[in-house]
Chain A
Amino acid sequence: MKDIIIKSGNIINPGGEVSGYHDIYIKDGIIIGIDEDNTKLNSPIIIDAENCIICPGLVDLSVRFRQPGLEKEATILSESMAAVSSGVTTVCYMPDTQPVIDTPAQIKLVEEIFKNVNLCKVKVLASLTKDLDGNRLSPMMELKQAGAVGLTNCLNPIQDLLVLRRAMEYASGQNMTIFYQPQNKYLANNGCVHEGKISNKLGLPGIPSAAESIAVAEALSLSKLTGVKLHLCRISCLESIALIQNAHSSGLEVTCDVAIHQLFFDEEAINNFNSDYHVMPPFRSNEDLLALKKAINDKTITAICSDHQPHNEDAKQAPFSNTQPGISSIELLLPLLMELVDKNILDLETAVSKVTSNPASILGINSGVISKGSPADLCILKNKEWKYEKSKIISSGKNSPFINKNFKTVVEKTICDGKLVYERK
């Protein structure tokens, strides 16, 4: 591995002390110094980052790379290439693969593939219940020892509250965080869009906001009862935000995230049955969209993730309710985030914190900051206009409502553990 010096970049580092214009020195995958002389380095690569921003490598709290089991849709290799093109250096892997990640061997398998691909790093969330069935607890201690950084039941939230209570109690005993995507399945009732103006007009089965907020309220109460560390995933409506704010003011240390695309669209996007806008949770009302934008600013929403879900073309080629939900979005995580900055929805420091230091601290990992002695995970970006064209998508999933959209920020280079893993051509 070559040593690297990154010169003259503007460091944006909300989770650390270093910021502003400095040179970064990297040796053996570690940041060994800021603005030091280079005598310690052995014929280093010199990267000129003038007019560039340098931020910590992104930590993405939710990705699906489809491996093992659904390699026809995507692989860890194809999606890792997409991830590093957006400055992502650590991904949080969802356990709803085939088979489900509920044994130490499954975790090892995924970690092994990432190691061989050698582009970005992985942190695995293991299944909270065996086979995500919502009834039988997974062997949490064994999963933790094998490397799981948390537990989740993905899009099958546990409906039996007694099981959820016990899962939380047990996880709390093992000091593990539960990543809970709140949705009451009875109220969701196989819906595919937000229940409101558009569901009503198009005659599509709707999911009321209450299906989410009720599950949030349940999870918050049980978190208080059991003392488990709770992270709420993919919040989509203002009622949930109010409940979380309430919990914060009563002293409960709950964190939550939002998918990046939820900050760009509301229910109106679905007006012509375009299945690229089929996501779960669904795009909600304009009031919800405004509330989400406000809540990423006022610290209610701790992190922003890509919620990357690549699909093959067939998955979106059917009448709306028969299509698969999800957007292939990891390549746009950073460009979309920077658009929020350009539009003054977020300031740059806050924006960067939502995809670096904050998610790293939710996962409890040593990442997401630039400091002496920490792993050299870095993203170098600059202002440059470009267009997201279908033919140039790196991910195997071309399912995106953002195709043909113009962006103003590009990722120039991505460094993961001191290795240059992406360089814009």
Chain B
Amino acid sequence: MNDENKDLNNENKNNNIVSQKHLRHFLDIEYLPKSLILDILDLAESFAGVSGQPVKKVPLLRGKTIVNLFFEASTRTRTTFELAAKRLSADFLNINVDFSATKKGESLLDTLRNLEAMHCDMFIVRHPLSGAAEFISKNVSQNISVINAGDGRHAHPTQAMLDVFTIRKYFKDFKKIKVAIVGDILHSRVARSLIHALRILEVPDIRVIGPKTLLPNGIEHMGVTSYVDMDAGIKDCNVVIMLRLQNERMNSSFIPDEHEYYNLYGFTPDRLQLLSKNGIVMHPGPVNRGIEISSEVADGDRSVILQQVSNGIAVRMAILSLSMQPQPDN
């Protein structure tokens, strides 16, 4: 594409931030500066203490109204966002759109307009289509922030943030670790956002592991190395992130069956010894025991799966509060 045509398409790609310090929306990791990612992690660190206090609330967002706008089912993400908002003293509303309004013929834009009319300050959006959060952010009024809680296969930036937060608890220096992501990379918004986050934090060795049917063409462009062989892929890794295998993948010829998948990519106890000495195992949940990970590993001492969930609250508190700060005049 020549330069002039690029100019035609020069809308600000960095819809996320208004300055190096302030978030306008939180849609995607890709264009965040490293310093801002570290700021979020540090702020989350300070919020992590709140959950341990007898009164688990800080008054940062008192008087603000936050809406969880979920067009797709979720338990963990929805709940941790709700807890995060409540611990920041915001008023909180859960709306499960479940495509029901859309089924009646209402367009996404009309749904938004109606919610806007209720004078909310923030939408936390999950949607089955890639780009939905970005679309919503472009179509809401100036004073509303949009947080992406997962859009199609595209991005799940708060999950990526809580994953790197969890990793930092164990490995202080991102520049010295090897990280592998295992499973259905093709359909995974978690993988995409996590790769961006790890790359920005300068992790030198990022690997994706899975059968070729679930490794997208051109994934190397994202700065990762791909492996079909799990043992070779996780060897000497400090962090292994297991992804959930959706049941429907079996019926659309991505993989032959669960049994073979477990043999090839299941995290079994004997694979633990391939990791580096202090290596940890992560999973964004929900876990399919006996399909991508054995119970022994999921519940074992190298697993940090439940810590990820707890950390999710602190990280989301940090992101909500940074996005709700008074925006600089601009």
Contact with A along B104-133 (1 / 0, CB 8 A): 000111000000000000000001011110
Cβ–Cβ contact B131 & A204, under 8 A: yes
Cβ–Cβ contact B107 & A314, under 8 A: yes
In the docked arrangement, what's the CA distance between A320 and B192, Å? 18
Contacts of B301 in A (CB 8 A): none
Selected from A206, A289, A402, the residue in CB contact (under 8 A) with B1 is: A289
Selected from B8, B139, B152, B217, the residue in CB contact (under 8 A) with A405 is: B8
**Interface hits, B7-53 → A, CB 8 Å:** 8-9, 11, 13, 15, 30
Contacts of B103 in A (CB 8 A): none
Cβ–Cβ contact A195 & B13, under 8 A: no
Contact with B along A251-267 (1 / 0, CB 8 A): 00000000000001110
**Interface hits, A193-241 → B, CB 8 Å:** 195-197, 199-206, 208
Contacts of B4 in A (CB 8 A): 405
Query: A-B pairs with CB below 8 Å: how many?
Result: 99
In the complex, the chain A residue whose C-beta lies closest to that of B191 is A203
Cβ–Cβ contact A319 & B127, under 8 A: yes
In the complex, the chain B residue whose C-beta lies closest to that of A285 is B218
In the docked arrangement, what's the CA distance between A265 and B9, Å? 11
Contacts of A386 in B (CB 8 A): none
Known: A203-B154, A268-B1. A273 touches B134 (CB 8 A): yes
Distance between A317 CB and nearest chain B CB, rounded to angstroms? 6
In the complex, the chain B residue whose C-beta lies closest to that of A321 is B129
In the docked arrangement, what's the CA distance between A195 and B155, Å? 18
In the docked arrangement, what's the CA distance between A270 and B179, Å? 30
In the docked arrangement, what's the CA distance between A343 and B30, Å? 34
In the docked arrangement, what's the CA distance between A402 and B13, Å? 18
Contacts of B217 in A (CB 8 A): 195-196, 200, 206, 208
User: Is B189 an interface position by the 8 A CB rule?
Assistant: yes
Cβ–Cβ contact A271 & B13, under 8 A: yes
In the docked arrangement, what's the CA distance between A204 and B135, Å? 14
Contacts of A320 in B (CB 8 A): 129-131, 135
Distance between B264 CB and nearest chain A CB, rounded to angstroms? 22
In the docked arrangement, what's the CA distance between A401 and B11, Å? 12
Selected from B15, B130, B189, the residue in CB contact (under 8 A) with A321 is: B130
Selected from B1, B15, B127, B192, the residue in CB contact (under 8 A) with A266 is: B1
Cβ–Cβ contact B9 & A269, under 8 A: yes
Selected from A200, A265, A318, A343, the residue in CB contact (under 8 A) with B218 is: A200
Contacts of B153 in A (CB 8 A): 203-205
User: Is B256 an interface position by the 8 A CB rule?
Assistant: no
Cβ–Cβ contact B5 & A274, under 8 A: no
Known: A289-B1, A319-B129. A272 touches B134 (CB 8 A): yes
In the complex, the chain B residue whose C-beta lies closest to that of A318 is B108
User: Is B216 an interface position by the 8 A CB rule?
Assistant: yes
In the docked arrangement, what's the CA distance between A120 and B50, Å? 72
Contacts of B101 in A (CB 8 A): none
Cβ–Cβ contact A204 & B11, under 8 A: no
User: Is A322 an interface position by the 8 A CB rule?
Assistant: yes
Distance between A238 CB and nearest chain B CB, rounded to angstroms? 16
Known: A318-B135, A320-B130, A321-B129. A203 touches B152 (CB 8 A): yes
Known: A203-B154, A268-B1, A319-B132. A274 touches B9 (CB 8 A): yes
Known: A266-B1, A318-B108. A201 touches B221 (CB 8 A): yes
In the complex, the chain A residue whose C-beta lies closest to that of B187 is A203
Selected from B1, B108, B131, B222, the residue in CB contact (under 8 A) with A269 is: B1
User: Is A277 an interface position by the 8 A CB rule?
Assistant: yes
Cβ–Cβ contact A319 & B218, under 8 A: no
Cβ–Cβ contact B132 & A196, under 8 A: no
Cβ–Cβ contact B130 & A265, under 8 A: no
Distance between A201 CB and nearest chain B CB, rounded to angstroms? 7
Distance between B244 CB and nearest chain A CB, rounded to angstroms? 16
**Interface hits, B128-187 → A, CB 8 Å:** 129-132, 134-135, 139, 151-155
In the docked arrangement, what's the CA distance between A225 and B4, Å? 45
Cβ–Cβ contact B8 & A286, under 8 A: no
Contacts of A246 in B (CB 8 A): none
Cβ–Cβ contact B13 & A272, under 8 A: yes
User: Is A361 an interface position by the 8 A CB rule?
Assistant: no
User: Is A404 an interface position by the 8 A CB rule?
Assistant: yes
User: Is B219 an interface position by the 8 A CB rule?
Assistant: yes
In the docked arrangement, what's the CA distance between A346 and B225, Å? 41
In the complex, the chain B residue whose C-beta lies closest to that of A277 is B9
In the complex, the chain A residue whose C-beta lies closest to that of B128 is A319
Distance between A295 CB and nearest chain B CB, rounded to angstroms? 18
Contacts of A200 in B (CB 8 A): 216-219, 221-222
Contacts of A203 in B (CB 8 A): 130, 151-155, 189, 192
Cβ–Cβ contact A204 & B130, under 8 A: yes
In the docked arrangement, what's the CA distance between A241 and B167, Å? 49
Cβ–Cβ contact A319 & B135, under 8 A: yes
Contact with B along A355-370 (1 / 0, CB 8 A): 0000000000000000
In the complex, the chain B residue whose C-beta lies closest to that of A208 is B217
**Interface hits, A304-323 → B, CB 8 Å:** 314, 317-322
Contacts of B11 in A (CB 8 A): 272, 274
**Interface hits, A284-333 → B, CB 8 Å:** 286, 289, 314, 317-322
In the complex, the chain A residue whose C-beta lies closest to that of B219 is A200
In the docked arrangement, what's the CA distance between A203 and B15, Å? 18
Shortest Cβ-Cβ A-B pairs, 7 listed: A203-B153, A203-B154, A273-B131, A319-B129, A319-B132, A203-B130, A320-B131
Pull 6 A–B residue pairs with CB atoms less than 8 Å apart, ordered by A. Answer: A199-B218, A201-B30, A268-B1, A273-B130, A318-B135, A319-B151
Show the binding face of A for B, using Cβ within 8 Å: 195-197, 199-206, 208, 264-266, 268-269, 271-274, 277, 286, 289, 314, 317-322, 343, 401-405
Besides A200-B218, A273-B135, A318-B109, 10 new A-B residue pairs in contact (Cβ under 8 A), listed by A number: A199-B216, A199-B218, A201-B30, A203-B192, A208-B217, A268-B1, A269-B1, A286-B1, A317-B107, A319-B151
